[in-house]
Amino acid sequence: MLCTDESLNICRDPLEIYQTILETLKKSSSMIMTEDYAGWKSSNFKSCMGKCLMVDQADYLTHHIFFDDNADDGEDCCVDVRDLVTGKAIEWEKFINMYVVKVHPTRAILEMDYFIKMIEEAECRRDDEIHKIELDQTKEADVNQQTYDSKGLTEWEKI
């Protein structure tokens, strides 16, 4: 749901949610999102009924970081993080401290640079993930690269 001075927009389509978030962030650089608390409560606070964050894991230039004090372990997390391309839920272990950061309110109040530190940690974790993905793709390309002789035959074809 996106609320502006002029209107209230409810987004249900995953791509529309993602595009709305991008457009809002282009204008404001940050935004507030709330869940349907009654629906979340009636589901016994399951993450799949929490705040929806669509993530394009293949987009290395965009890094959404969602801060919430209820970003608890596993199914108790209040954020439903999904891959934009597949629509599948991303596991808590993968998104925590990269796309979703659990806020500790006392630290946020007492430490002036708390959010800056959390952003830096999330960015480092995302950079590490991108680096691992690129290494795996390089390894895969090396495995697929075959050595040919002057006649165009691979070592396997010679046998």
pLDDT 10s digits, 96-145: 999 999 999 999 999 999 999 999 999 999 999 999 988 887 776 665 55
Geometric angle at alpha carbon 35, from 31 and 40, rounded to 5°? 160
Token pair for residue 125?
Answer: 């974790």
Instruction: Give CA–CA dist 157/29, Å, rounded.
Output: 57
Query: From CA 71, how far away is CA 47, in angstroms rounded?
Result: 9
Torsion of the alpha carbons at 76, 80, 82 and 88, rounded to the nearest 10: 60
| Residue-number span of the structural domain to which 62 is assigned | 2-143
0.85 exceeded by the pTM?
no
Instruction: Name the amino acid, one letter, at 16.
Output: E
Closest to 51 in 3D by CA, of 85, 8, 93, 95: 95
**Distance in angstroms (rounded) separating the CA atoms of residues 119 and 29:** 14
In a domain, 134, yes or no: yes
pLDDT score for 69: 92
Please check whether residue 60 lies inside any domain of the structure. Answer: yes
Q: How confident is the model at residue 82 (pLDDT cuts 50, 70, 90)?
A: very high
Is 113 a domain residue?
yes
Domain count, the chain: 1
